[in-house]
Amino acid sequence: MSKHVPVITIDGPSGTGKGTITQLLAQHLGWHLLDSGALYRVVAVGIEKNNILINEINKICEFAGAMEVAFGTEFEGSITLNGNEISHLARLEETAEKASKVAAIGELRAVLLQRQRDFCRPPGLVADGRDMGTVVFPSADLKIYLTASAEERAQRRYKQLINKGVGVNLRDLLQDIASRDERDANRQVSPLRPADDAVVIDTTSLTIDQVLEKVLIKVEDTVTPDQ
Protein backbone atom coordinates (compact mmCIF):
# COMPACT_ATOMS: atom_id res chain seq x y z
CA MET A 1 0.00 0.00 0.00
CA SER A 2 1.40 3.44 -0.89
CA LYS A 3 2.17 5.82 1.93
CA HIS A 4 -0.35 8.53 2.78
CA VAL A 5 0.74 11.95 1.53
CA PRO A 6 -1.10 14.69 3.44
CA VAL A 7 -2.94 17.38 1.46
CA ILE A 8 -4.34 20.72 2.63
CA THR A 9 -6.65 22.53 0.20
CA ILE A 10 -7.17 26.29 0.25
CA ASP A 11 -10.12 27.33 -1.91
CA GLY A 12 -12.09 30.51 -2.36
CA PRO A 13 -12.52 33.46 -4.71
CA SER A 14 -9.62 35.76 -5.64
CA GLY A 15 -8.53 38.45 -3.22
CA THR A 16 -9.19 36.40 -0.08
CA GLY A 17 -5.47 35.95 0.65
CA LYS A 18 -5.48 32.35 -0.63
CA GLY A 19 -2.22 32.66 -2.55
CA THR A 20 -0.33 34.23 0.34
CA ILE A 21 -1.71 31.81 2.91
CA THR A 22 -0.90 28.85 0.65
CA GLN A 23 2.66 30.06 0.19
CA LEU A 24 3.21 30.76 3.91
CA LEU A 25 1.72 27.43 4.92
CA ALA A 26 3.73 25.45 2.35
CA GLN A 27 6.90 27.20 3.55
CA HIS A 28 6.04 26.63 7.21
CA LEU A 29 5.40 22.91 6.67
CA GLY A 30 8.14 22.42 4.05
CA TRP A 31 5.54 20.96 1.67
CA HIS A 32 4.95 21.28 -2.07
CA LEU A 33 2.61 23.94 -3.41
CA LEU A 34 0.06 23.85 -6.22
CA ASP A 35 -1.21 27.16 -7.60
CA SER A 36 -3.96 25.65 -9.76
CA GLY A 37 -5.21 29.05 -10.96
CA ALA A 38 -1.82 29.52 -12.62
CA LEU A 39 -2.53 26.46 -14.81
CA TYR A 40 -5.74 28.06 -16.12
CA ARG A 41 -3.86 31.33 -16.63
CA VAL A 42 -1.13 29.47 -18.57
CA VAL A 43 -3.77 27.93 -20.85
CA ALA A 44 -5.28 31.42 -21.36
CA VAL A 45 -1.86 32.80 -22.36
CA GLY A 46 -1.08 29.76 -24.52
CA ILE A 47 -4.26 29.86 -26.58
CA GLU A 48 -3.85 33.60 -27.12
CA LYS A 49 -0.28 33.06 -28.40
CA ASN A 50 -1.47 30.25 -30.68
CA ASN A 51 -4.52 32.10 -32.01
CA ILE A 52 -6.90 29.50 -30.60
CA LEU A 53 -10.39 30.84 -29.96
CA ILE A 54 -12.28 30.31 -26.71
CA ASN A 55 -14.92 28.17 -28.50
CA GLU A 56 -12.35 25.84 -30.11
CA ILE A 57 -12.60 23.35 -27.28
CA ASN A 58 -10.77 20.46 -28.98
CA LYS A 59 -7.82 22.68 -29.85
CA ILE A 60 -7.72 24.10 -26.32
CA CYS A 61 -7.69 20.60 -24.82
CA GLU A 62 -5.06 19.39 -27.27
CA PHE A 63 -2.89 22.38 -26.40
CA ALA A 64 -3.33 21.91 -22.64
CA GLY A 65 -2.64 18.17 -22.83
CA ALA A 66 0.67 18.75 -24.58
CA MET A 67 1.90 21.97 -22.92
CA GLU A 68 5.05 21.90 -20.81
CA VAL A 69 4.69 24.11 -17.76
CA ALA A 70 7.31 24.80 -15.11
CA PHE A 71 6.83 26.87 -11.97
CA GLY A 72 9.63 28.57 -10.06
CA THR A 73 9.99 27.78 -6.39
CA GLU A 74 8.39 31.03 -5.18
CA PHE A 75 4.65 31.69 -5.57
CA GLU A 76 5.42 35.00 -7.25
CA GLY A 77 8.27 33.37 -9.20
CA SER A 78 8.73 32.33 -12.76
CA ILE A 79 6.23 30.47 -14.92
CA THR A 80 7.47 28.97 -18.17
CA LEU A 81 5.25 27.66 -20.93
CA ASN A 82 6.97 25.45 -23.50
CA GLY A 83 10.28 26.99 -22.43
CA ASN A 84 9.16 30.65 -22.60
CA GLU A 85 8.95 32.83 -19.49
CA ILE A 86 5.34 34.08 -19.27
CA SER A 87 4.91 35.03 -15.60
CA HIS A 88 4.23 38.68 -16.39
CA LEU A 89 1.57 37.79 -19.00
CA ALA A 90 0.05 35.15 -16.71
CA ARG A 91 -0.58 37.70 -13.95
CA LEU A 92 -2.31 40.36 -16.04
CA GLU A 93 -5.97 41.15 -15.30
CA GLU A 94 -6.87 40.38 -18.96
CA THR A 95 -5.39 36.92 -18.48
CA ALA A 96 -7.42 36.40 -15.28
CA GLU A 97 -10.53 37.27 -17.25
CA LYS A 98 -9.71 34.81 -20.03
CA ALA A 99 -8.64 32.16 -17.48
CA SER A 100 -12.07 32.40 -15.88
CA LYS A 101 -13.61 31.67 -19.32
CA VAL A 102 -11.36 28.70 -20.14
CA ALA A 103 -11.90 27.38 -16.61
CA ALA A 104 -15.60 26.96 -17.42
CA ILE A 105 -14.76 24.34 -20.10
CA GLY A 106 -15.43 20.93 -18.53
CA GLU A 107 -13.30 19.05 -21.08
CA LEU A 108 -10.31 21.25 -20.22
CA ARG A 109 -10.80 20.70 -16.48
CA ALA A 110 -10.70 16.95 -17.15
CA VAL A 111 -7.44 17.32 -19.10
CA LEU A 112 -5.84 19.26 -16.22
CA LEU A 113 -7.06 16.96 -13.43
CA GLN A 114 -4.20 14.43 -13.36
CA ARG A 115 -1.59 17.15 -13.87
CA GLN A 116 -2.84 18.79 -10.67
CA ARG A 117 -2.94 15.49 -8.74
CA ASP A 118 0.67 14.81 -9.75
CA PHE A 119 1.71 17.71 -7.49
CA CYS A 120 0.83 15.51 -4.51
CA ARG A 121 4.24 14.19 -3.47
CA PRO A 122 5.86 13.58 -0.06
CA PRO A 123 6.16 15.18 2.39
CA GLY A 124 2.82 16.89 1.58
CA LEU A 125 0.93 19.38 -0.57
CA VAL A 126 -0.83 22.68 -0.02
CA ALA A 127 -3.17 23.25 -3.00
CA ASP A 128 -4.68 26.62 -3.86
CA GLY A 129 -7.70 26.98 -6.17
CA ARG A 130 -11.47 26.85 -6.51
CA ASP A 131 -12.20 23.12 -6.60
CA MET A 132 -9.24 21.65 -4.73
CA GLY A 133 -11.39 20.36 -1.86
CA THR A 134 -14.46 19.48 -3.93
CA VAL A 135 -13.00 17.79 -7.03
CA VAL A 136 -9.22 17.55 -7.29
CA PHE A 137 -8.42 16.36 -3.76
CA PRO A 138 -11.79 15.29 -2.30
CA SER A 139 -10.12 13.26 0.44
CA ALA A 140 -7.73 16.03 1.54
CA ASP A 141 -6.76 15.95 5.22
CA LEU A 142 -7.83 19.55 5.77
CA LYS A 143 -10.00 21.77 3.58
CA ILE A 144 -9.98 25.51 4.11
CA TYR A 145 -12.33 27.87 2.27
CA LEU A 146 -11.48 31.57 2.49
CA THR A 147 -14.06 34.27 1.83
CA ALA A 148 -14.15 38.08 2.04
CA SER A 149 -16.56 40.74 0.83
CA ALA A 150 -16.19 41.68 -2.85
CA GLU A 151 -15.41 45.29 -1.81
CA GLU A 152 -12.56 44.21 0.46
CA ARG A 153 -11.17 41.86 -2.20
CA ALA A 154 -11.26 44.64 -4.82
CA GLN A 155 -9.45 46.98 -2.39
CA ARG A 156 -6.73 44.39 -1.78
CA ARG A 157 -6.25 43.73 -5.49
CA TYR A 158 -6.22 47.49 -6.14
CA LYS A 159 -3.39 48.01 -3.63
CA GLN A 160 -1.44 45.06 -5.09
CA LEU A 161 -1.70 46.41 -8.63
CA ILE A 162 -0.91 50.00 -7.66
CA ASN A 163 2.19 48.77 -5.79
CA LYS A 164 3.25 46.95 -8.94
CA GLY A 165 2.84 50.19 -10.89
CA VAL A 166 -0.24 48.97 -12.80
CA GLY A 167 -2.83 51.74 -13.29
CA VAL A 168 -6.34 50.52 -12.42
CA ASN A 169 -9.69 51.91 -11.44
CA LEU A 170 -11.20 50.55 -8.22
CA ARG A 171 -14.76 50.56 -9.54
CA ASP A 172 -13.78 48.63 -12.69
CA LEU A 173 -11.86 46.17 -10.55
CA LEU A 174 -14.86 45.59 -8.30
CA GLN A 175 -17.05 44.99 -11.35
CA ASP A 176 -14.52 42.56 -12.89
CA ILE A 177 -14.18 40.65 -9.62
CA ALA A 178 -17.96 40.41 -9.22
CA SER A 179 -18.43 39.14 -12.78
CA ARG A 180 -15.62 36.55 -12.45
CA ASP A 181 -17.09 35.36 -9.12
CA GLU A 182 -20.45 35.01 -10.79
CA ARG A 183 -18.97 32.98 -13.68
CA ASP A 184 -16.82 30.79 -11.38
CA ALA A 185 -19.68 30.11 -8.96
CA ASN A 186 -22.36 29.43 -11.57
CA ARG A 187 -20.55 27.29 -14.12
CA GLN A 188 -21.78 23.73 -14.73
CA VAL A 189 -18.51 21.99 -13.90
CA SER A 190 -16.62 22.29 -10.61
CA PRO A 191 -18.29 25.54 -9.55
CA LEU A 192 -16.65 27.62 -6.87
CA ARG A 193 -18.15 26.49 -3.55
CA PRO A 194 -16.89 25.23 -0.20
CA ALA A 195 -16.67 21.45 0.22
CA ASP A 196 -19.20 20.14 2.75
CA ASP A 197 -16.34 19.37 5.14
CA ALA A 198 -14.42 22.63 4.59
CA VAL A 199 -13.53 25.06 7.38
CA VAL A 200 -14.81 28.45 6.18
CA ILE A 201 -12.87 31.54 7.30
CA ASP A 202 -14.13 35.04 6.52
CA THR A 203 -10.98 37.14 6.06
CA THR A 204 -12.71 40.50 5.48
CA SER A 205 -11.48 42.08 8.70
CA LEU A 206 -8.47 39.83 9.37
CA THR A 207 -4.79 40.39 8.66
CA ILE A 208 -2.79 37.69 6.86
CA ASP A 209 -1.11 36.80 10.19
CA GLN A 210 -4.52 36.36 11.85
CA VAL A 211 -5.73 34.11 9.02
CA LEU A 212 -2.53 32.07 9.13
CA GLU A 213 -2.91 31.65 12.90
CA LYS A 214 -6.45 30.29 12.46
CA VAL A 215 -5.32 27.93 9.69
CA LEU A 216 -2.36 26.66 11.74
CA ILE A 217 -4.65 25.80 14.65
CA LYS A 218 -6.71 23.64 12.26
CA VAL A 219 -3.57 22.08 10.80
CA GLU A 220 -2.37 21.04 14.26
CA ASP A 221 -5.80 19.60 15.06
CA THR A 222 -6.32 17.61 11.88
CA VAL A 223 -3.28 16.88 9.76
CA THR A 224 -1.28 13.71 10.28
CA PRO A 225 2.30 14.35 9.22
CA ASP A 226 3.96 11.96 6.77
CA GLN A 227 6.38 9.90 8.85
Binding residues for ligand DC, per CB under 6 A?
14, 36-38, 40-41, 96, 99-100, 103, 129-131, 180, 184
We find the least distance from the C-beta atom of residue 214 to ligand DC, in angstroms, to be 21
Judge whether 142 and 111 are in contact, CB under 8 Å: no
Tell me how far apart the terminal alpha carbons of the chain are, to the nearest angstrom: 15
Closer residue to ligand DC (CB): 99 or 126: 99
We find the least distance from the C-beta atom of residue 160 to ligand DC, in angstroms, to be 12
Closer residue to ligand DC (CB): 6 or 15: 15
47-64 burial string, b = 16+ CB within 10 Å, else e? Answer: beeeebeeeeeeebbebb
Q: For 62, left (φ over 0), alpha (ψ -120 to 50), or beta?
A: alpha
We find the least distance from the C-beta atom of residue 180 to ligand DC, in angstroms, to be 5
Distance CA 161, CA 159 (A): 6
We find the least distance from the C-beta atom of residue 227 to ligand DC, in angstroms, to be 29
Closer residue to ligand DC (CB): 36 or 87: 36
Closer residue to ligand DC (CB): 38 or 61: 38
